[in-house]
């Protein structure tokens, strides 16, 4: 791993363990084994590290969402694949899941960085438009579909993470079907 990635991974770990204010650059330097002066060669300040980490995690998340895509996939199968990829990304990357939650509610949130990263997910808007155009989903806004999609993904992950209920592959597929029933025509 290059130094920048080591710094980002250390920041991810420290923020999820201690919160944003409990992860000063001095602690990031100590944890990463990279001198504070070197960190400032890569990043302007702590806010810059956090925003770069957000971009790094969102890119990784998007790459995971697209895993397994193939030519000729129908809209329902594509929703299912992307939805499950989101669920398994959070299950397999709990620090990233926690960081995204923390970032969304933090004073460090940068509207421009969020906007740039949302462009990365244009494939989800394209899927929505194709689904609406083909008549497979009902007339509902893109925003409503995304809230339902991300809401069910997050709740599956949180429920599984908390061990409140037994969540297995069968339950994961059933929750997708509940989401799908909510948007299909």
> pLDDT tens, position by position, for the chain (185 residues)?
899 999 999 999 999 999 999 999 999 999 999 999 999 999 999 999 999 999 999 999 999 999 999 999 999 999 999 999 999 999 999 999 999 999 888 887 788 888 888 889 999 999 999 999 999 999 999 999 999 999 999 999 999 888 889 899 999 999 999 999 999 99
33: DSSP letter: T
- For residue 87, what are the β-bridge partners? none
pLDDT at 125: 96
Is the CB of residue 101 less than 8 Å from the CB of residue 20? no
- Give how far Cα 90 sits from Cα of 74, 93, 126, 150, Å: 25, 5, 23, 11
- What residue has token string 């939650």? 101
The number of residues making up the chain comes to 185
pLDDT at 111: 85
Rounded Cα distance, 182 and 151, in Å: 13
| Domains of the chain with CATH codes | 1-43 (1.10.10.60), 57-183 (1.10.357.10)
Rounded Cα distance, 31 and 48, in Å: 18
pLDDT at 94: 95
pLDDT at 133: 97
Closest CA to 104 of 148, 176, 154: 154
pLDDT at 105: 85
pLDDT at 1: 83
Alpha carbon dihedral 94, 96, 102, 108, in 10-degree steps, equals 170
Q: What is the pTM of this model?
A: 0.92
Cβ neighbours, 10 Å, residue 100: 16
Q: Residue 135 in 3-state DSSP?
A: coil
pLDDT at 104: 85
């Amino acid at each position: 791993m290059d130094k920048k990635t080591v710094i980002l991974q250390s920041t991810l770990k420290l923020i999820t363990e201690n919160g944003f204010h409990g992860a000063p650059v001095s602690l990031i330097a100590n944890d990463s084994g990279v001198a504070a002066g070197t960190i400032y060669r890569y990043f302007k300040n702590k806010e810059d590290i956090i925003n770069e980490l957000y971009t790094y995690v969102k890119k990784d998340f998007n790459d995971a969402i697209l895993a397994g895509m193939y030519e000729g996939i129908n809209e329902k199968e594509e929703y299912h694949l992307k939805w499950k990829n989101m669920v398994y990304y959070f299950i397999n990357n709990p620090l990233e899941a926690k960081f995204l939650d923390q970032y969304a509610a933090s004073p460090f949130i940068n509207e421009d960085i969020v906007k740039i990263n949302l462009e990365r997910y244009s494939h989800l808007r394209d899927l929505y438009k194709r689904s609406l155009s083909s008549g497979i989903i009902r007339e509902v806004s893109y925003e409503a579909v995304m809230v339902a999609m991300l809401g069910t993904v997050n709740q599956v992950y949180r429920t599984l993470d908390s061990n409140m209920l037994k969540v297995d592959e069968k339950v994961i597929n059933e929750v997708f079907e509940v989401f799908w029933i909510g948007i299909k025509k």
